[in-house]
Amino acid sequence: MSRLFSEKGRWRLLRLSLLMLLLAGLLPAAGRAEDTPAIPVTVVGVSGNSQVTSEYILGVISTKEGQMLDRDVLQKDIEAIYDQGFFSFVDVDLRPETAPDGSEAVSVTFFVQENPVIETITFEGNTVYTSDQLMKEVFSQVGTVFNRAFFRNDLDRIQERYHKDGYVMVRVSDVQVEGGDIRVTILEPRVGNVIIQGNRRTKDYVIRRQIKLKEGDLFNVNHFRHHLSKLQGMGYFEDVNVAFDNPEERDDVVDLILTVKEKRTASIGVNVGYGSESGLSGGLTYGDTNLAGRGYNFEVGFDEGDEASYWLSLSNPYMDSETFAWRVGVRYYTYDDRYYYRHAVRQFEFDEKTFTVYAGLGRKFKNENWSWFLTLRRQDTSYDDVHNAIPGYTNDLTMWDGVNQTVELQFSWDKRDPYTSYSKGFIWDTSFEQAVKALGGDYTYLKYWTQMRYYTPLNHLFTSLGFDDIQGTWTDENPLLLAARVRVGSATKDENLPAFARYSLGGMNTLRGYNSRSFEGSNVILGNFELRVPISDSFSLVGFYDIGNADYSMDWSDLHDNYGVGVRVKTPFGNLRVDYAHGEEENRTYFGFGEMF
């Protein structure tokens, strides 16, 4: 740096003074030290200082009154005074004296030239932090003598702040000290070109939109690491490597070079399952998560059994403020000998057939925490063959078959931290579903619901309460996590709401411990609470509690709940989920993939 660290070499000039004294006979030369008597020091002092006390200066020297003068020790004293950082020049004055016994002696006076008193400290080139924020890292204050050593530590703290927040390429590029004015120049490298190579199938824009850093952005390694994680999590690549380059030796620009190795994204899946109500089932699917290299999801498949379905879907799940997400699909669903429940009591068995066609479009707002999605859906449902009914059963189901044409608009506010490997923060969804006869449907109603999902790590809370993480598995990347979901919904038709449009609770994704669709109605309230405890990087335990009800009234005094435990195991096919729930009537075990919310 131009002046801050260039003056230390001045002490070397002092050696010339010592050499002249040696030649004058005041100091014994090395070659005749044994022939020349040692000269005692009678006085040690300092001059030239006005702000720094003499006691502070002399506190670092080894030359003392009454000792013999030693040129090596004297030289180290000069260095020690200079290293205190307060001085731009240090010299020594040796004067012959007469000792009390009449022998030759010498007085030693260290001459110092103090650095200027700090008048201003200014910063240039800083955009991440304001000058006031950077001054909080600086211990050197206006009105004090400038100290090189102290200011080096100040600069180190400034760089540490940048680096801790992910700006690892930022550095102090220059310091100018002119009188009492100190000017610090910060170099904040920005992104130049983002070069993508190795992709033969995947389009560049599909990769580039995951790497949010663009030309001119500040490089932040924490953000970039998260972008890479999302890119790798897409499942398109076996490997992603990163290299950096400074174009034309420019220190203020860094090029990012991404080298990807693609893998096959198309797959065929075979599944076999058994349900206590649905019986034995099996099916086949074919899918591609990167159709045509454009990031489209395509899937076609079928499941056979008492509960059977056939489907075809195509979607583009990516959205931002300039890119629309969309989806289209068709599904045919049949369920033979399905049980119908009313207030958790089995009424009868029936057969159900549903044919659904849908299309949707959505995008983020300018504030990308907010997004919308509009879905058009046509559903043709029929209920047949009521059998195995209990005495005095209620049938408020089969009257509702027909065509339902709906328009659904959903808004989302996503305030989860985008730079953590787990969900942290909250996401709020609100949906409005309008059924209209004008579009060819048989029904008219309005449904609306809102839902909040909240996630917060509890590492610090539990350790402060004395719960120790003995195995060290509660890390910042894999913390002890509280997850909560609350949903409230209603509709305008109350008991005239078609059966297929009712809110329903029960099963592995709503109220564990109850049969699917045990509770139905035009109103719903649901709360799910989970404590997710990591045991290892690939295994965790979950304690959960669910509470809620779906009914035709808003009297929530009769809520149904359950509690239980579960395990989560990371596998190549996703997060395996096993939950054991204790309900009001019985216990139930569920198997699946992914978290419930």
Strands 237-245 and 253-262: antiparallel
Exposure on the CB side of residue 534, measured as CA atoms within 13 A: 22
- Give pLDDT tens digits for 501-526: 999 999 889 999 998 889 999 999 99
Q: Where are the alpha helices (DSSP H) in 3-64?
A: 14-23, 54-58
Q: Is the pLDDT of residue 13 over 70?
A: no
**Amino acid (one-letter) located at 114:** E
For the chain, what is the mean pLDDT?
A: 88
Average pLDDT of span 473-501: 88
Residue 305: the pLDDT is: 83
Question: Is 281 part of a structural domain of the chain?
Answer: yes
Question: Are 62 and 29 contained in the same domain?
Answer: yes
Cβ atoms within 10 Å, residue 401: 19
- Give pLDDT tens digits for 541-553: 999 999 999 998 8
Task: Please tell me the total count of domains within the chain.
Answer: 5
Question: Is 1 part of a structural domain of the chain?
Answer: no
* pLDDT-derived band at 102, boundaries 50, 70, 90: confident
Question: Is 232 part of a structural domain of the chain?
Answer: yes
C-alpha closest to that of 256 among 236, 237, 234, 228: 228
Question: Are 129 and 69 contained in the same domain?
Answer: no
CATH number for position 420: 2.40.160.50
**Tokens 């030309």, residue located:** 215
Question: Is 407 part of a structural domain of the chain?
Answer: yes
Predicted structure pTM score: 0.73
Question: Are 81 and 207 contained in the same domain?
Answer: no
Q: Is the pLDDT of residue 276 over 70?
A: no
Residue 443: the pLDDT is: 92
- Give pLDDT tens digits for 343-361: 888 999 999 999 999 999 9
C-alpha closest to that of 533 among 475, 592, 453, 591: 475
Question: Are 278 and 380 contained in the same domain?
Answer: no
Question: Are 166 and 218 contained in the same domain?
Answer: no
- Give pLDDT tens digits for 156-201: 999 999 999 999 999 999 999 998 999 999 999 999 999 999 999 9
398 or 30: whose pLDDT is higher? 398
Question: Are 250 and 150 contained in the same domain?
Answer: no
Q: Which domain holds residue 223?
A: 190-262
24 or 143: whose pLDDT is higher? 143
CATH number for position 97: 3.10.20.310
Between helix 14-23 and helix 71-83 the angle, nearest 10°, is 160
User: In whole angstroms, what is the distance from residue 485 CA to residue 488 CA?
Assistant: 10
Residue 576: the pLDDT is: 86
Residue 379: the pLDDT is: 95
* pLDDT-derived band at 566, boundaries 50, 70, 90: very high
Which residue, 137, 162, 187, sits at the end of a domain?
A: 187
Question: Are 297 and 180 contained in the same domain?
Answer: no
C-alpha closest to that of 510 among 480, 547, 540: 547
Question: Is 572 part of a structural domain of the chain?
Answer: yes
Q: Which helix (H) or strand (E) holds 161?
A: helix 148-164
Question: Is 2 part of a structural domain of the chain?
Answer: no
Residue 591: the pLDDT is: 83
Average pLDDT of span 66-80: 93
Q: Is the pLDDT of residue 229 over 80?
A: yes
In Å, what is the CA distance from 190 to each residue of 159, 162, 408, 525?
16, 14, 43, 49
Q: Is the pLDDT of residue 265 over 50?
A: yes
Residue 197: the pLDDT is: 96
Question: Is 3 part of a structural domain of the chain?
Answer: no
User: In whole angstroms, what is the distance from residue 511 CA to residue 514 CA?
Assistant: 6
Question: Which SS3 state, helix, strand or coil, does residue 58 take?
Answer: helix
Q: Is the pLDDT of residue 249 over 80?
A: no
- Interacting residues of 319 by C-beta distance below 8 A, sequence separation 6+: 325, 362, 363, 364, 371
Question: Is 379 part of a structural domain of the chain?
Answer: yes
Question: Are 183 and 195 contained in the same domain?
Answer: no
* Sign of the CA dihedral running 493, 498, 501, 502: positive
| Weakest mean pLDDT among 260-264, 402-406, 470-474 | 470-474
Q: What is the DSSP string of 240-253?
A: EEEEEE-GGG-TTE
380 or 16: whose pLDDT is higher? 380
Question: Are 553 and 437 contained in the same domain?
Answer: yes
Q: Is the pLDDT of residue 9 over 70?
A: no
Residue 275: the pLDDT is: 53
Average pLDDT of span 325-340: 94
Q: Is the pLDDT of residue 434 over 70?
A: yes
- Give pLDDT tens digits for 38-71: 899 999 999 999 999 999 999 999 999 989 999 8
C-alpha closest to that of 39 among 109, 110, 108, 111: 108
Question: Are 308 and 323 contained in the same domain?
Answer: no
Average pLDDT of span 7-19: 40
Which residue, 114, 142, 173, sits at the end of a domain?
A: 114
193 or 306: whose pLDDT is higher? 193
Question: Are 412 and 469 contained in the same domain?
Answer: yes
Question: Are 391 and 536 contained in the same domain?
Answer: yes
Decide if 427 contacts 413 (C-beta within 8 A): yes
Taking phi over 0 as left and psi of -120 to 50 as alpha, with beta for the rest, 337 belongs to: left
593 or 203: whose pLDDT is higher? 203
Which residue, 143, 168, 187, sits at the end of a domain?
A: 187
